[in-house]
Amino acid sequence: MGLAIEFCGINFPNPFTLASSPATTTGEMIMRGFAAGWGGAVTKTIGPPGEHIANVSPRFAALHAGKKRMYGFENIELISDRTLEIWLEECRIIKDRYPDRVLIASIMAAGDAQADWQELTSRLQDAGCDMIECNLGCPHGMPERGMGAVCSQNPEITANITKWVTDVAKVPVIVKLSPNITDITLPALSARARGAAGVSAINTVNVLLGIDIETFSPLPTVAGKTAYGGYSGPAVRPIALKMISDIARKMPGFPLSASGGIAGWQSAIEFLLVGARNLQVCTAVMLHGFGVLKPMLRGLENYLERHGFTRPEQIVGLALTKIVEHSRLDPSYRPKALIDAINCVRCDMCYVACADAAYQAIEILHERFAPVSERRVPIVHLDRCTGCSLCAHVCPADSIAIKEVKES
């Protein structure tokens, strides 16, 4: 089965695209990504000629669930510190060696710098780039210079930049949006109105990852201090799914490129189902390398086959009609908690959660004559259970199902 998909009029061999990131820092890295099978790549964001970029260290911090199982990742990295001239040369080489892959130039300039936006666009498309992505979403460092997130937080600035770029572009232009905004559909509408072929979302979420409580130093600590950074990885996926589906529901059919926590074939499929046609991956590649693609390709292919589809585009947006106003949810639907006593590990966590934060519907039965390890059996009083599902979420053994119980 082929995984090719059209996005903004361009044919991608598969929807998986390296996001603008440390993994696309150089042309050599992008080519290694293409050799590993990635359908497209977005260059690390290229700034205007003369912009001085100096990164600080350390510039990453992470939240782990247990030992080194990272689910949230913060960075305070700036855009590319390499010159436009170097990028022009490398883009030519990449397109020469990989004409069938999609090379997207990520560009950034200030919100009032028409000439810079137009120069970057013209020169990078002349170097062979297939698309332009305007980075209006970086939440750290660059906004202090009038660039990045401040540009898509103001739909008027988004409109201006999109118009300047599309006025000179001969290739499709997409606009990358910040999630640090109340309604992401406003800049998306502005971008579409001024000629953008699509939008990509989300860039990183502005955060303060944590504080070292012994030294009082916020993380990541650069000689004792930090700046607010951008959050990515699985922790931001729910925000990205919400924002992609928001845009897809407001602007049906408008091409969307998703990023934000894509870490495997399942999360990739989630984004296709809420309306994305293109999938960008950053943090998962930083953690696992370009090879993280292989199981994603296989998983997507198997999934499509299992469900009787032949192309990824057949599943784009299929979940959207199931997202409705809260008032349209059925209040008479009353599933109940059903505990699988055989798999239950007798930890009492469901009992405690239900007693202290729900409806006191779970009771622990004491089997006096059973061995010690089997003595505490949780049972659900169905008349008191509201089916809220809290017990299922705290159960470490996945032994609780929330199901409709048919009255006999």
Ligand X SMILES: Cc1cc2nc3c(=O)[nH]c(=O)nc-3n(C[C@H](O)[C@H](O)[C@H](O)COP(=O)(O)O)c2cc1C
> Which amino acids are annotated catalytic?
138
Pick the piece of the chain touching ligand X (CB under 6 A) from 93-101, 282-290, 327-335, 342-350. Answer: 282-290
Pick the piece of the chain touching ligand X (CB under 6 A) from 118-126, 179-187, 277-285, 313-321. Answer: 277-285
Ramachandran assignment for 365, one of left (phi > 0), alpha (psi -120 to 50 degrees), beta (any other)? beta
- Verify binding: residue 20, ligand X, rule CB under 6 A: yes
226 or 259: whose CB is closer to ligand X? Answer: 259
CB of 284 to ligand X, least distance (A): 6
- Verify binding: residue 336, ligand X, rule CB under 6 A: no
- Verify binding: residue 14, ligand X, rule CB under 6 A: no
Cα separation values, 35 from 32, 42, 400, Å: 5, 15, 44
Of residues 361 through 390, those in contact with ligand X by CB under 6 A are none
- Verify binding: residue 140, ligand X, rule CB under 6 A: no
260 or 312: whose CB is closer to ligand X? Answer: 260
Evaluate the omega torsion of the peptide bond into residue 202 and state whether it is cis, within 30 degrees of 0.
yes
CB of 170 to ligand X, least distance (A): 22
CB of 187 to ligand X, least distance (A): 15
Residue 388: how many other CB atoms lie within 10 Å: 17
Rounded Cα–Cα distance for residues 393 and 296 (Å): 27
| 155 SS3 class | helix
77 or 246: whose CB is closer to ligand X? Answer: 77
Binding-site member from 153, 166, 180, 204 for ligand X (CB under 6 A): 204
- Verify binding: residue 176, ligand X, rule CB under 6 A: yes
Cα separation values, 157 from 20, 26, 205, 244, 308, Å: 22, 29, 20, 21, 44
Binding mask 228-247 for ligand X (x = CB under 6 A): ----xx--x-----------
Query: Percentages helix, strand, coil for the chain, rounded to the nearest 5?
Result: 35, 20, 45
- Which tokens sit at 361? 């519907």
Instruction: DSSP for 59-70, please give it.
Output: -EEEEESSTT-E
- Verify binding: residue 257, ligand X, rule CB under 6 A: no
Cα separation values, 82 from 6, 7, 29, 247, 272, Å: 31, 28, 14, 33, 33
CB of 237 to ligand X, least distance (A): 7
Of residues 62 through 81, those in contact with ligand X by CB under 6 A are 73, 75, 77, 79
Cα separation values, 334 from 353, 378, 385, Å: 19, 20, 9
Cα separation values, 137 from 101, 117, 128, 300, Å: 25, 15, 24, 28
- Verify binding: residue 281, ligand X, rule CB under 6 A: yes
Evaluate the omega torsion of the peptide bond into residue 378 and state whether it is cis, within 30 degrees of 0.
no
46 or 391: whose CB is closer to ligand X? Answer: 46
CB of 45 to ligand X, least distance (A): 4
- Verify binding: residue 259, ligand X, rule CB under 6 A: yes
User: Residues in the site for ligand X, rule: CB under 6 A?
Assistant: 19-22, 44-45, 73, 75, 77, 79, 106, 135, 138, 176, 203-204, 232-233, 236, 259-262, 281-284
